[in-house]
Amino acid sequence: MSSRRRKSPARSKTARRAAAAADFWGTEPDQVEVPRIRRSDDPSAVVRSLGQPPLPGRDAVAPHYYEAIYEKAAGVAAALAATAGLLVTDDDA
């Protein structure tokens, strides 16, 4: 025969959410200084330094597609940084 589970003390859903949010985000109101970023001139340089991708039969075209993906990712990252006011532009230099 199975035993009955005891009910835990009742807490409202909003109280649980507020406690979880405070635990996750913290309660300190201090602002952290976030460094500004500059878009890379060559976003695929680090990955390219690792050598050719191990794709037999497609090793001639793979670098082109990878470079396109890295350029797109760097563009998206720069756009997100710009919306947050964290992108260093030529005007700032």
Alpha-carbon distances of 17 from 13, 21, 23, rounded to whole Å = 6, 6, 10
Q: pLDDT higher for 4 or 62?
A: 62
Domain assignment of residue 88, yes or no: yes
Residue 14 lies in a domain: no
Please give the pLDDT value at position 21. Answer: 61
pLDDT value for 45: 94
Structural domain boundaries enclosing 44: 33-93
Q: Does pTM top 0.75 for this prediction?
A: no
Fill in the amino acid letter for 29. Answer: P
Closest CA to 39 of 67, 69, 81: 81
In a 13 Å sphere around the CA of 23, the CA atoms on its Cβ side amount to: 6
Q: How many domains does the chain have?
A: 1
Please list the residues that pair with 37 across neighbouring strands.
87
